[in-house]
């Protein structure tokens, strides 16, 4: 028992190691559970936020009935989905039909093994981090194709073919943008780059610049290519053809219902979070706080470290603001009291985050999540604004616009990078 | 895979040899499909995503309106016409009442004419708003739907205040109106005109210059002017092909010749032009409403019509410009209180024939856009 | 039993050989061209497994071929994966062309050089 | 560097998956099932690569094989109708010859692996384990580096091969050029 506690504590003494890097199985398990739970909560929150934000963009209120401001609506939906009959069409290929959603969910969740929420806050740090993420997330294509084919119906099949063609073609542009970042990571003293997610962020820290600003506008162009490709990769509006409701009813998951359908839903949202975290890690400095050059110094570090606590306090304040007017109906009274309780919990979390050791540990997670949340808002915004591309136009954008742009970007980045390296060497020689 | 030829009686001029013949896909779209605007069933023959031909199967909403008419008196049949094009019920009523008035040789008084024009034009705007919302939804833009429904609500409120119903209004009577306009009717209409003008700009802001919207609508579902005329297509679809034909100008009915308005036309006859034409039409309708509300005269609202309507033996064809095109009523009277035969020429039904021509060689997604741009209402197609 | 619990290079080689044999059986006996192509992928993978296992083996060996830079096997396996991609693309292209003309995917019906 | 955990267990698990997958690939009637079995095999193999301290090859295996080539396979299987082929005979007439050839090849493997050991292991495990931390960088050095790189030419040839394959595939599958 004593050894076990020692084993647990041994990891806490290491400051800059991920549990995987330390080889500590206990903490790796804890981290896996934490990421899993956090991701599920994020998907639930995203579900509610998407409905609310989209509704307010469209001059309506969105869910209002279940819980105060519909806060419990996602839970109600989840219960409904779990209780629904799980239909497998009689002509479907049952085994594949059964496996497909799990395949999609697995690939969407597995990528979070290497997502760096902080220098030590990742399940593990792989030498092939970004390659792993791209590779595993591309496996969801297989699940989608399986789902579409196994349904043995026209609409799902077309949806599956569309979506796999779309994902495969946008992966190319995505990969090129990613490679341009990997070239940027190699612009250090020993000239060795890295595919590791943590190392990429550390390079941005070392070079004193987020890669979105590197070699302006090259970094920005790469980011834009990735930002477009990642929307297509996750089959979201305006590239949501595979599930274009008005054309293909629901695309590859037309025949799915209940629990299995909700797995697809879960996978879609966690894939959105996954690609957003790639974008954040590669271009937006991962867990680094904003304005590191402009507002530097320990004072500013302290100020920025208060942000997580303040955010939670802000949410708590919103909750309390909504409880000021107490409704008469007893049911709504309970709801409002529940909201107040939620506000108290949020406030306590916020206060806890001002406590020194906690503050140090959550700062990086907070900034990472905040940046990912900004991307999530973008996704919702796109959905509220854009019509849908047609399939040939989508392919045109992917192959004729983004791919040449990506190639040119890659060559230019390599060229500019070599020039700066040469320049550094010349300087070195001159100094000698 | 089923042999497509045995599945449907598609009469296609031999398409070019397809990529994988064995995999030519026959897709049954509808009658339960979110984008067919009701219970339209379209049998699509696809080569990959390319449409090789299609056939519309209609009749799922057939209620025998024309047959019902033969067993009802002229007055009793009046509410039934609202149920044909239920998003433009007022226009249907106007067409029917004017046709019977023509048969009886009476004319509605001037005040009634003005109120009729106001309500009909408001209904045109409502119909176009509904079209815009659903059309944009089909193409994937979900937000305009809610904007247009928010504004259409104001029109329905005016209808409700005027005659107590929002959708199937039964607003007009043979020979004029039953109800005098309520207090503040003119104010409501003026307020509405001022309210909706910036809103139309808002719709256009979301769509007109949106790159994706342009790519999805330009060059899609093109139909040339002569083709459109040959198929009997009318309304905005015809005008977008460059044919300046609007019954309000060409064969003026009601008192449309008193008003100053323009007939917008397009050039290329594609989906984008049809969109623009309808947007301009909404503004022109507002112009008509503005003029009409300024010029409402005082006076009676009902002409002298006998209690029991018994037109003389004869037949009449009368058509009006409904929001969707030419809406015609052909009425045969045998001198009794009931019409011997009523035949309706519904614009949606005739326009729907152009679907095949417009969709050949396009992609599946375009079929959705074209069905949307035709602005069909299945209640009117099937009657 | 001891040799069972201690995984050596030989274990990987035996696994590779087994996969190779499965691939060979598939290529020689199946009629469906798609499955024949997949069996070829199996063979290539068996080879890859051997190469990577040997790369690991040489990394632990002293001498000219050994040492930390003894990753030649891995480099070779990457080349083989590239080849597999090219082979799959061309093979499936031929398959499509063939299917379009003969409406069959059976390998023993490919008995004409021209049709 | 961490000591590897439960290597035999994972080795036997993964090799079991691979062998079952391989058997399914060559025995299934339905080509889609075969493809899925092959994907399972490939993924298990990627895990084996990780056990062999070759993470880069594992990544390439996942991204290219499982994510790329197999999607291509699935695409083609879905394009060609398979209902008819499923009803037909699955094995060709020379299956006996094939089995004999495979059996003799297997015998050859067995004889090689068993006879030459003489009581000692043919290829003992490499005792020194170099970590995967720099694996990608070292492969890159072998491929591209000025001093240590020796596969640059082969790399270029491979790219040429891919180009030819692209053109070939397009020419083959286009209906008219």
pLDDT in tens, B128-143: 999 998 888 888 888 8
Is the minimum CB–CB distance between A249 and chain B shorter than 8 Å?
Answer: yes
Q: In what order do the strands lie in the sheet with B50-57?
A: B25-29, B41-47, B50-57
Q: Work out whether the CA dihedral C89, C95, C98, C99 comes out positive or negative.
A: negative
Task: Say if residues B150 and A59 touch (Cβ distance below 8 Å).
Answer: yes
CATH number of D1-88: 1.20.120.1200
**Least CB-CB distance to D75: which of A99, A135, A164?**
A164
- Name the residue among C93, C86, C112 with its Cα closest to residue C34: C93
Asked whether at least 3 C-beta pairs link A and C within 8 Å, the reply is: no
CB D28 within 8 A of CB C32: no
Residue by residue, DSSP assigns B12-75 as ---PPPPSSGGG-EEEEE-SS-TTSSSS-EEEEEEETTEEEEEEEE--TT---HHHHHTTS-HH
Nearest C-alpha neighbor of A193 from the set A176, A181, A206, A210:
A181
> Taking CA atoms, what residue in A is nearest to D75?
A161
Q: How confident is the model at residue B57 (pLDDT cuts 50, 70, 90)?
A: confident
Is B154 within 8 Å of chain A by CB?
no
Average pLDDT, chain B: 84
Check if A145 contacts D (Cβ < 8 Å): yes
Token digits of residue B28: 């049954």
- CA D68, D70, D71, D75 torsion: positive or negative? positive
For the domain spanning B65-382, the CATH number is 1.10.645.10
Sign of torsion, CA D2 D8 D9 D15?
positive
C110, with CB counted inside 10 A (0-12, 13-18, 19+), is middle
Q: Which of D18, D117, D127 to mutate to test the interface with C (most CBs of C within 10 A)?
A: D18
| CB-based burial label for D111 (10 Å; 0-12, 13-18, 19+) | exposed
B17–D81 C-beta distance less than 8 A: no
> From 3.30.565.10, 1.10.150.240, 1.10.287.3510, 1.10.3720.10, which CATH number describes the C2-109 domain?
1.10.287.3510
**What is the average pLDDT score of chain A?**
84
B19 contacts chain D (CB < 8 A): yes
Q: Cis check for the bond before A238: say yes or no (omega within 30 of 0).
A: yes
Q: What is the arrangement of strands in the sheet containing B314-322, beginning at the earlier edge strand?
A: B314-322, B325-333, B339-345
Interface test with A, best of B143, B213, B220 (most A CBs within 10 A): B143
With beta carbons less than 8 A apart as the criterion, state whether D128 and C60 touch. yes
Instruction: Report CA-CA distances (Å) from A267 to A80, A358, A383, B241, C24.
Output: 18, 31, 18, 46, 38
Q: Which residue has the tokens 């030989």?
A: C10
> Which one of B1, B19, B23 has the shortest CB-CB distance to D175?
B19
Task: Determine contact, residues B10/B33, Cβ cutoff 8 Å.
Answer: no
Q: A341 — contact with chain D (CB < 8 Å)?
A: no
What letter does residue C113 receive in the DSSP assignment?
A: S
The pLDDT confidence band at residue A6, using thresholds 50, 70 and 90, is confident
Q: Minimal CA–CA distance to A185: which of D137, B120, B49?
A: D137
Q: Do A390 and B143 touch (CB under 8 A)?
A: no
B298: exposed, middle or buried (Cβ count in 10 Å: 0-12, 13-18, 19+) = exposed
For every residue of A188-257, which 3-state class applies, written as one string? CCCCCCCCCHHHHHHHHHHCCCCCCCCCCCHHHHHHHHHHHHHHHHCCCCCCCHHHCHHHHCCHHHCCCC
Among chain C residues, the shortest Cα distance to D34 is held by C35
- The answer to whether C59 touches C91, Cβ cutoff 8 Å, is no
pLDDT band at B3 (very low <50, low <70, confident <90, very high): very low
The residue among C15, C37, C40 with the most chain D CBs within 10 A of its CB, best to mutate, is C15
Q: A275-316 pLDDT, tens per residue?
A: 999 999 989 888 888 887 787 778 888 888 888 889 999 999
Q: What are phi and psi of B173, to 5 degrees?
A: -120, 160
D114 in contact with C, Cβ within 8 Å:
no
How far off is chain B from C106, nearest CA to CA, in Å?
16
Spatial distance between the Cα atoms of B156 and B166, rounded to a whole number of angstroms = 5
Query: Is A192 an 8 Å CB contact of chain D?
Result: yes
Neighbours of chain D (3+ CB pairs under 8 A): A, B, C
177 residues of chain D, pLDDT tens digit each: 455 566 788 888 998 999 999 999 888 888 888 888 999 999 999 988 888 888 888 888 888 888 888 888 888 887 776 666 666 777 777 778 888 888 888 888 888 777 655 556 566 655 555 566 677 888 888 888 777 778 888 889 999 999 999 898 888 877 655
A92 Cβ partners below 8 Å, 6+ apart?
Answer: A150, A151, A152, A255
Beta bridge partners of B322: B325
pTM above 0.90, yes or no: no
Q: Which residues of A touch B25 (CB under 8 A)?
A: 154, 158
CB of B372 closer than 8 Å to CB of B216 = no
Q: What pLDDT, on the 0 to 100 scale, is given for residue B55?
A: 84
3-state secondary structure of D91: strand
What integer pLDDT is reported at residue B20 of this predicted model? 43
Write b or e for each residue in A46-74: b if 16 or more Cβ atoms lie within 10 A of its Cβ, otherwise e. bbbbbbbbbbebbeeebbeeebbbbbbbb
Q: Which residue of A has its CA nearest to B35?
A: A246
State the Cα–Cα distance between residues A267 and A285, nearest whole angstrom: 25
Instruction: Flag if D79 and C39 touch (Cβ within 8 Å).
Output: no
Handedness of CA B71, B76, B80, B81 (dihedral sign): positive
User: Which residues in chain A are contacts of B363 at CB distance < 8 A?
Assistant: 390-392
The domain limits of chain B are: 4-57, 65-382
Residue D87: which of D36, D32, D37, D29 has the closest Cα? D29
Beta-carbon separation of B49 and A389 below 8 A: no
Tell me the residues of chain D between 70 and 99 that have a Cβ less than 8 Å away from chain C. Answer: 72-73, 76-77, 79-80, 85, 88-95, 97-99
Q: Please list, in sequence order, all residues whose beta carbon lies within 8 angstroms of the beta carbon of residue D30, skipping any fewer than 6 positions away.
A: A93, D82, D86
Residues of chain A contacting residue B136, judged by C-beta atoms under 8 Å apart: 387
CA distance A147 to A250: 12
Name the band, by pLDDT with cuts 50, 70 and 90, for residue B302.
Answer: confident
Q: What pLDDT is attached to residue B13?
A: 41
**B172-212, pLDDT tens digit by residue?**
888 888 888 888 888 888 899 999 988 888 888 888 888 88
The rounded Cα B210 to chain-centroid distance in angstroms is: 26
Strand ranges in chain B using DSSP code E only, listed in sequence order: 25-29, 41-47, 50-57, 172-173, 176-177, 314-322, 325-333, 339-345
What are the tokens at A111? 């990528």
CB < 8 Å to A149, chain D: 32, 74, 78
The ipTM (two decimal places) reads 0.80
Judge whether B36 and B55 are in contact, CB under 8 Å. Answer: no
Q: Which two tokens stand for residue D111?
A: 């004889």
Mean pLDDT of all residues belonging to chain C? 82
Phi, psi of A178 (to 5 degrees): -65, -40
Q: Which residues contact B363 (CB under 8 A, 6 or more apart)?
A: A390, A391, A392, B49, B50, B51
Is C99 in contact with B20 (Cβ distance < 8 A)? yes
Which pLDDT does position C43 carry in this prediction?
Answer: 92
Query: CB–CB of B49 and A158 under 8 A?
Result: yes
Q: What is the mean pLDDT of residues A126-142?
A: 86
**CB nearest to D79's CB, from B1, B17, B20:** B20
| Cβ of residue C65 closer than 8 Å to a chain D Cβ | no
At residue B26, φ and ψ (nearest 5 deg) are: -110, 120
HEC profile for A359-406? Answer: HHHHHHHHHHHHHHHHHHHHHHHHHHHCCCCCHHHHHHHHHHHHHHHH
Point out the residue among C15, C29, C97 whose CB comes nearest to the CB of D18. C15
Instruction: Evaluate if residue B26 carries a pLDDT over 80.
Output: no
Side-chain half-sphere CA neighbours of B146 within 13 A: 14
Residue C41: C-alpha distances to residues B189, C34, C91, D35 (Å)? 74, 11, 11, 11
**Predicted local confidence at residue D122, as pLDDT:** 61
Contact list, A240 vs chain B (CB under 8 Å): 140
* Stretch 137-176 of chain D: residues touching chain C, C-beta under 8 Å: 138-139, 141-143, 148, 151, 154, 158, 161-162, 164-166, 168-173, 175
Q: Which residue has the higher pLDDT, A345 or A1?
A: A345
pLDDT exceeds 80 at position C113: no
Nearest beta carbon to residue D66 from set A131, A139, A195: A139
Q: Say how far residue D138 (Cα) sits from the centre of its chain.
A: 22
* Contact yes or no for A387 and B27 at CB 8 A: no
Residue D163 CA to residue D177 CA, distance in Å, equals: 18
Residue A405 binned pLDDT confidence (cut-offs 50, 70, 90): very high
Q: Which residue among D18, D34, D95 places its CB closest to the CB of C29? A: D95
Taking the C-alpha atoms of residue B65 and residue B349, their distance in angstroms, rounded to an integer, is 14
Higher model confidence: residue A125 or residue B118? B118
Over 50: is that where the pLDDT of B368 sits? Answer: yes
3-state secondary structure of C72: helix
Which residue in B109, B117, B147, B105 sits closest to B130, CA to CA?
B147
How far apart are the C-alpha atoms of A100 and C52, rounded to whole Å? 31
Chain B residue with Cα closest to A381: B143
Per-residue model confidence (pLDDT) at position B102: 87
Q: Where are the domains of chain D?
A: 1-88, 134-177
């Amino acid at each position: 028992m004593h050894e076990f506690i020692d084993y647990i504590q041994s990891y806490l003494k290491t400051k800059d190691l991920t549990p995987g890097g330390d080889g500590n199985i206990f903490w790796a398990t804890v981290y896996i559970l934490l990421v899993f739970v956090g991701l599920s909560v994020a998907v639930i929150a995203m579900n509610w936020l998407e409905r609310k934000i989209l509704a307010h963009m469209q001059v309506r209120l969105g869910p209002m009935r279940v819980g105060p401001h519909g806060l419990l609506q996602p839970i109600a939906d989840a219960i409904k989905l779990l209780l629904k009959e799980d239909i497998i069409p009689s002509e479907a290929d049952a085994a594949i039909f059964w496996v497909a959603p799990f395949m999609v969910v697995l690939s969407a969740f597995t990528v979070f093994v290497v997502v760096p929420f902080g220098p030590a806050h990742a399940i593990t740090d792989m030498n092939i981090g970004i390659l792993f993420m791209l590779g595993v997330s591309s496996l969801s294509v297989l699940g989608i194709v399986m789902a579409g084919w196994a349904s043995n119906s026209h609409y799902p099949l077309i949806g599956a073919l569309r979506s796999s063609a779309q994902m495969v073609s946008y992966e190319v542009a995505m990969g090129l943008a990613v490679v341009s970042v990997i070239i940027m990571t190699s612009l250090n003293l020993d000239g060795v780059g890295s595919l590791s997610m943590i190392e990429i962020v550390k390079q941005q820290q070392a070079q004193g610049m987020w890669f979105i600003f590197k070699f302006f506008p090259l970094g920005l162009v790469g980011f834009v290519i990735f930002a477009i490709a990642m929307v297509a990769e996750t089959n979201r509006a305006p590239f949501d053809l595979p599930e274009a409701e008005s054309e293909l009813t629901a695309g590859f998951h037309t025949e799915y219902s209940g629990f299995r359908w909700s797995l697809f839903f879960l996978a879609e949202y966690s894939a959105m979070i996954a690609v957003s975290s790639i974008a954040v890690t590669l271009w937006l400095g991962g867990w680094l706080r904003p304005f590191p050059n402009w507002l530097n110094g320990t004072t500013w570090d302290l100020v920025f470290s208060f942000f997580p606590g303040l955010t939670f306090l802000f949410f708590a304040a919103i909750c309390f603001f909504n409880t000021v007017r107490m409704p008469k109906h007893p049911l709504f009274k309970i709801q409002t009291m529940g909201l107040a309780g939620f506000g108290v919990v949020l406030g306590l979390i916020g206060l806890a985050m001002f406590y020194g050791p906690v503050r140090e540990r959550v700062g990086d997670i907070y900034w990472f999540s905040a940046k990912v949340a900004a991307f999530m808002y973008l996704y919702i915004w796109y959905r509220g604004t854009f019509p849908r591309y047609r399939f040939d136009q989508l392919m045109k954008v992917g192959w004729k616009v983004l791919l040449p742009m990506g190639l040119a970007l890659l060559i230019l980045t390599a060229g500019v990078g070599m020039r700066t390296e040469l320049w550094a060497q010349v300087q070195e020689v001159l100094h000698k | 895979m089923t042999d497509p030829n045995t599945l449907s009686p598609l009469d296609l001029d031999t398409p070019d040899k397809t990529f994988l013949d064995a995999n030519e896909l026959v897709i049954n779209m509808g009658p339960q499909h979110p984008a067919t605007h009701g219970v339209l069933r379209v049998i699509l023959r696809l080569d990959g995503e390319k449409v090789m031909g299609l056939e519309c199967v209609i009749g799922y909403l057939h209620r025998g309106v024309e047959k019902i008419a033969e067993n009802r008196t002229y007055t009793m049949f009046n509410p039934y016409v609202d149920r044909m094009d239920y998003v433009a019920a007022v226009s249907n009523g106007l067409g029917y009442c004017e046709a019977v008035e023509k048969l009886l040789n009476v004319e509605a008084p001037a005040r009634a004419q003005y109120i009729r024009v106001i309500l009909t034009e408001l209904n045109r705007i409502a119909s176009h708003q509904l079209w815009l919302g659903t059309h944009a939804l089909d193409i994937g833009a979900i937000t305009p739907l809610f904007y247009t429904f928010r504004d259409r609500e104001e029109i329905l409120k005016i209808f409700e205040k005027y005659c107590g119903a929002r959708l199937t209004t039964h607003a007009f009577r043979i020979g004029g109106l039953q109800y005098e306009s309520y207090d503040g009717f003119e104010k409501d209409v003026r307020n509405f005109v001022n309210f909706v003008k910036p809103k139309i700009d808002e719709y256009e802001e979301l769509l007109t210059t949106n790159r994706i919207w342009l790519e999805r609508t330009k060059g899609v579902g093109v139909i040339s002017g002569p083709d459109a005329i040959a198929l009997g297509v009318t309304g905005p679809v015809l005008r977008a092909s460059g044919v300046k034909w609007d019954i309000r100008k060409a064969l003026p009915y009601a008192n449309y010749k008193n008003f100053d308005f323009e007939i917008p036309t397009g050039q290329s006859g594609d989906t984008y032009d049809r969109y623009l034409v309808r947007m301009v039409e909404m503004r022109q309708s507002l112009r008509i409403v503005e003029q009409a509300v300024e010029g409402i005269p005082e006076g009676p609202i009902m002409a002298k019509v006998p209690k029991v309507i018994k037109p003389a033996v004869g037949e009449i064809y009368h058509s009006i410009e409904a929001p969707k095109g030419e809406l015609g009523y052909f009425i045969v009277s045998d001198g009794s209180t009931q019409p011997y035969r009523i035949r309706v020429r519904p614009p949606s039904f005739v326009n729907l024939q152009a679907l095949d021509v417009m969709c050949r060689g396009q992609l599946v997604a375009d079929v959705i856009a074209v069905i949307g741009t035709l602005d069909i209402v299945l209640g009117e197609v099937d009657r | 039993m001891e040799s069972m619990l201690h995984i050596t290079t030989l274990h990987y080689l035996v696994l590779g050989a087994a996969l190779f044999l499965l691939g060979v059986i598939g290529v020689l006996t199946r009629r469906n061209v798609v499955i024949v192509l997949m069996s070829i992928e199996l063979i290539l993978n068996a080879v890859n497994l051997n190469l990577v296992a040997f790369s690991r083996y040489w990394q632990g060996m002293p001498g000219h071929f050994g040492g930390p830079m003894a990753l030649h096997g891995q480099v070779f396996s990457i080349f083989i994966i590239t080849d597999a991609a090219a082979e799959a693309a061309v093979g499936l292209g031929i398959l499509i062309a063939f299917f379009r003309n003969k409406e069959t995917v059976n390998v023993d019906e490919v008995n004409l050089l021209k049709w | 560097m961490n000591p590897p955990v439960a290597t035999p267990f994972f080795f036997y698990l993964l090799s079991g998956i691979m062998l079952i997958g391989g058997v399914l690939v060559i025995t299934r009637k339905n080509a889609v099932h075969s493809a899925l079995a092959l994907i399972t095999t490939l993924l298990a193999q990627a895990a084996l690569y990780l056990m062999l301290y070759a993470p880069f090859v594992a990544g390439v295996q996942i991204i290219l094989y499982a994510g790329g080539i197999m999607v291509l396979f699935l695409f083609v299987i879905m394009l060609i109708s398979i209902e008819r082929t499923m009803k037909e005979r699955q094995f060709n007439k020379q299956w006996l010859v094939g089995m004999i050839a495979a059996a003799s090849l297997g015998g050859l493997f067995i004889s090689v692996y068993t006879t030459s050991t003489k009581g000692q292991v043919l290829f003992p495990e490499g005792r020194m384990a170099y970590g995967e931390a720099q694996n990608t960088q070292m492969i890159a050095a072998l491929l591209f580096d000025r001093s240590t790189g020796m596969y640059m030419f082969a790399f270029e040839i491979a790219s040429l091969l891919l180009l030819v394959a692209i053109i070939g595939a397009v020419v083959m599958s286009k209906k008219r050029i």
